[in-house]
Amino acid sequence: MNIIKVDGLSFGYSEVEVLRKLSFEVESSSFLAVAGPNGAGKSTLIRLLCRELRPKSGSIRIDSAAIESYTARDLARKVAVVRQEFVPVFGFTVTEVVAMARSPYLDTFAFESRTDREIIAEALEMTETAKFASRTLSQLSGGERQRVFIARALAQDTPVILLDEPTSFLDLKHQVGIYDLLKKMQLEKGKTIVVVTHDINLAGRYCDQCLLIGGADGEKNCFIGKPEDVLAPERIERIFDVKVAVGKAGRKKIIIPLGKFADSVTDTDADLTSTE
């Protein structure tokens, strides 16, 4: 069953066209990674999928209904978004920020019920942010804040979670921790995860499908499929315009970009063993 169906999607900011006739489907309870060079339209795609932007042409269907047909509230019960972390102007505590995610389920006078509190507590536990639940966001580090925003998306209890570069400020432990958490959400709770990321290696290890957007001017392309097919080294080199070296960690491939001043590495020199 396809929970997200994109058909012929085109979008541009004034004259600059960013996405052209993009079509793909995301199966329910799957993990999709979206990769591509800067400016390819990855964040734009996320914004289109949560209806922050309206497409120039084409259609988006969420759970078999056109995205325009949802009220804001109903859409919020289907799709949660995790954007770049920021410090809000007012000093909301971590708990208050995460609690806001329950808003689509509250009525006019908006007081959280016991179920709501349990969901909030669970979200805090899972992202390991419970220990600073009563601190304000300005008192946290960027990485900790990012986890709070992810906790908020979890508390929103939606079948689809969209994430725009969620691990950019996280340390190694938490990078892997977040992907583990997202995978757990997918496998145990049946959520559909769509992640925009620059880290193609990490994404490639976790996702079921990969969507690669990009291409030289006049040649907007998108490739969707299994990560090992989509993230082929030659294609990476062409789309990202960079030389890469390929290695292996366990059964999965690793792709490393090569710069001018790094040591030159060839396939035969690579002898990477994983700690799995």
Partner 1 sequence: MKELLTVKKLTARIAVAIVLLVLVMCVCSLVGTQRISLSAVFAGGHSQQTVNTDYEIFVHVRLPRILLACVVGAALAYAGVVFQGLLRNPLADPYILGISSGAGLGVMIAVMSGYSWTLWGRSPITVFAFAGALLTVWLVWLIGRFTGRANMTGLLLAGVVVNAFFSAVIMFLTSVVKSDQLHSTIFWLMGNMTEESFFVLWVCGGCVLAGIVVLFCISGRLNLISLGEDEATSMGVNTVRTRTIAFAAAAGITAIAVSLSGLIGFVGLIVPHGVRLIFGPDHRQLLPLSAITGSAMLVIADTFARVVVAPAQLPVGVVTAITGGPIFLLLLTRYARKSGLLNK
How many CA atoms does the CB half-sphere of 199 hold within 13 Å?
A: 17
Distance CA 146, CA 169 (A): 8
Distance CA 74, CA 97 (A): 20
Give the x-and-dash track for 39-58 against partner 1 (CB under 8 A): -----------xxx------
User: Applying CB under 8 A, does 73 fall inside the site for partner 1?
Assistant: yes
User: Applying CB under 8 A, does 216 fall inside the site for partner 1?
Assistant: no
Beta strand spans in 41-171 (E) = 57-62, 65-66, 79-82, 160-164
Please state the closest distance from residue 60 (CB atom) to partner 1, in A.
Answer: 15
Instruction: Specify the DSSP element, H or E, that contains 249.
Output: strand 243-249
- Pick 25 or 96: Cβ nearer partner 1: 96
- Pick 10 or 139: Cβ nearer partner 1: 139
Candidates 9-17, 24-32, 107-115, 189-197 — which segment interacts with partner 1 by CB under 8 A? 107-115
- Pick 103 or 274: Cβ nearer partner 1: 103
Candidates 132-140, 184-192, 194-202, 207-215 — which segment interacts with partner 1 by CB under 8 A? 132-140
Residue with tokens 């769509």: 194
Region 140-179 residues binding partner 1, contact defined as CB under 8 A: 156
Region 218-247 residues binding partner 1, contact defined as CB under 8 A: none
How many CA atoms does the CB half-sphere of 8 hold within 13 Å?
A: 4
Binding partner 1 by CB under 8 A: which of 5, 77, 235, 248? 77
Q: How many CB atoms lie within 10 A of CB 41?
A: 25
User: Applying CB under 8 A, does 36 fall inside the site for partner 1?
Assistant: no
Name the token pair of 223: 């490739």
Distance CA 38, CA 27 (A): 26
8 A C-beta contact, residue 168 and residue 142: no
- Pick 52 or 180: Cβ nearer partner 1: 52
User: Applying CB under 8 A, does 211 fall inside the site for partner 1?
Assistant: no
User: Applying CB under 8 A, does 121 fall inside the site for partner 1?
Assistant: yes
Distance CA 194, CA 34 (A): 7
- Pick 162 or 254: Cβ nearer partner 1: 162
Name the token pair of 184: 């757990």
Q: Which residues bind partner 1 (CB under 8 A)?
A: 50-52, 71-77, 79-81, 83, 86, 88-93, 95-97, 99-101, 103-104, 106, 108-112, 117, 120-121, 133-134, 136, 138-139, 156
